[in-house]
Structure 1
């Protein structure tokens, strides 16, 4: 990717895969075995009968500053979609995938909360960045929590897993009035934590400047679902997907127990 394109993309450092429509827009301006095969791991659990947590309760369960050493926690980001109505897909079965990557609830619920957890490079840096690429070479993870009544969380996990298979050939989406194209969806290694987990990759067309690959993880603990999506702007266009930091997943799930 050209340096100027990296710089422009860098200005949108807080955007998620769903709002990659904005990132690419800026470029133009200057059973267990079968579950594993689908990138899913599940453990036997009864249907959840508990009532969904409220959005306020979920806010208190999100990671806070100091919960993960070496990371900065921000309450959220103004560039992220505030509601599912802001994110549209041309295939209904792909919508849960798009929502999950935006920190939105991947299923039918009004109870959700999200924040961002970014590497604190300033705390460990010994010298100024040598280039634009170095300045944006850090991981930012979008974390979303959502809670569901009865078996809603389990149904949501199935919708996500089914979406990975149904959307393997890609899909189109619109976010913030910008169109973007996911060219491929594939399964990824699931977290193996919580009661059930699903992980998937998405290849996104970067407006003629190559393809970027992103990974999203979705984990259910009881009737609460956590979503994780990590982006590293310096790696865009390199063909490598930023890994979701295991310490973030572990710390967040630990607060849900």
Structure 2
């Protein structure tokens, strides 16, 4: 793919995947090794999590304070997600209801039923090492950016949210259509992956996305539950779209965020 074509494609898909974060990528169980559990869409600790005593769910204001802040992850810049992330689930739609939780997770929206949520973005901080201006717009996009969402739930809502994502990974393995930010995207495949294994349970998955007929890009998403709070992570490098390269979710970001949760 030519660099100019790649840049245009990056900008176009950015609108759709940013909102959808198709990090919104269909998530799959990453916390546990699904191959060992025999449930590709399953989540670690799901068998015992339902019997754990329910903790008080943080409010939206409390979730804002629990989000990673600037200086808490070395080598990364933290910014508010208000300007780039969708404001509501209504802005992110799929053609299969069971795939909605995957799309919402990628867009830093709650994968379950709750009004308590917050989100931001964490990007590689290359400013301190930069020695020259980017050669073109595609070079300017050459950073890994992770969209982080937090949501909290009463009762067993958090467990149900993770289950919805896990179930969606299996139900949507053949793909689905996504509409976000005025753009339409086709997810051609969803597959479970092994995630961080952090928190009480987690689900990780990869999504293959059609790049407007110019190849396929793979996006990774992870959903982690700690108590009554669910954290979602979706990473994208717009410069790499269509190149065959993928942006992995930074372990340092996931570890630092989960460590802040109650």
TM-score scaled to structure 1, two decimals? 0.88
Q: 5+ residue gaps in structure 1?
A: 23-30
Moved more, 117-126 or 98-107: 117-126
Q: 1:213 to 1:166 in 2, by over 3 A?
A: same
Q: Structure 1 stretch 188-197 or stretch 132-141: which is displaced more? A: 132-141
Equivalent residues of 1:188, 1:201 under 8 A apart: yes
Q: Deviations over 1:1-24 (max 9, x none)?
A: 3222233345579657363699xx
Contact persistence 2:78–2:123 (CA under 8 A): yes
Separation (CA, whole Å) in 2 of partners of 1:131 and 1:19: 24
- Is the 8 Å Cα contact of residues 20 and 104 (structure 2) preserved in structure 1? no
Name which of structure 1's ranges 34-43 and 142-151 shifts more when overlaid on structure 2: 34-43
2:31 matched to 1:34?
no
Report the CA distance between 1:126 and its aligned residue: 2.9
Alignment deviations for residues 96-155 of structure 1 (CA, whole Å, 9 cap, x no partner): 000000000000000000000011111122333355543322100000000000110011
The structure-2 alpha-carbon separation of the partners of 1:202 and 1:10, relative to structure 1 and needing over 3 Å to count, comes to closer
**Is the 2:95–2:178 Cα contact (8 Å) retained in structure 1?**
yes
Q: Distance in 1 between matches of 2:62 and 2:21?
A: 31
Match of 2:8 in 1: 8
Deviation of 1:76 after TM superposition, in Å, equals 1.0
The residue aligned with 1:252 is 257
Q: Which has the higher contact order (CA 8 A, sep 6+)?
A: 2
| Contact 1:216 1:230 survives alignment (8 Å) | yes
Whole-angstrom distance in 1 between the partners of 2:128 and 2:13: 19
Q: Does the CA-based 8 Å contact 2:17-2:180 persist in structure 1?
A: no
Structure 1 residue 234 corresponds to structure 2 residue 243: no
Alignment CA distance shift 1:20-1:194 (3 Å):
closer
From the superposition, tell whether residues 11 and 183 of structure 1 become closer, same or farther in structure 2 (CA, over 3 Å): closer
Partner of 2:26: none
Task: Report the Cα offset of residue 48 of structure 1.
Answer: 4.7
Measured in 2, the distance between the counterparts of 1:35 and 1:118 equals 35
Mapping of 1:49-198 within 5 angstroms?
49-130=54-135, 132-198=137-203
Q: How many residues align?
A: 249
RMSD (CA atoms): 2.4
Output the CA distance in 1 between the equivalents of 2:14 and 2:217: 16
State the distance in 1 between where 2:57 and 2:133 align.
46
Segments of structure 2 that go 5 or more residues without pairing to the other structure are 23-31
Asked if the contact 2:42/2:163 (under 8 Å) is kept, the reply is no
For residues 236 and 53 of structure 2, what CA distance do their matches in structure 1 show? 32
- Whether the aligned pair in 1 keeps the contact of 2:92 and 2:103 (CA below 8 Å) is yes
CA distance in 1, matches of 2:235, 2:108: 11
TM-score by length of 2: 0.87
Q: Residue 44 of structure 2: SS of its match in structure 1?
A: strand
Q: CA deviation at 1:42?
A: 2.5
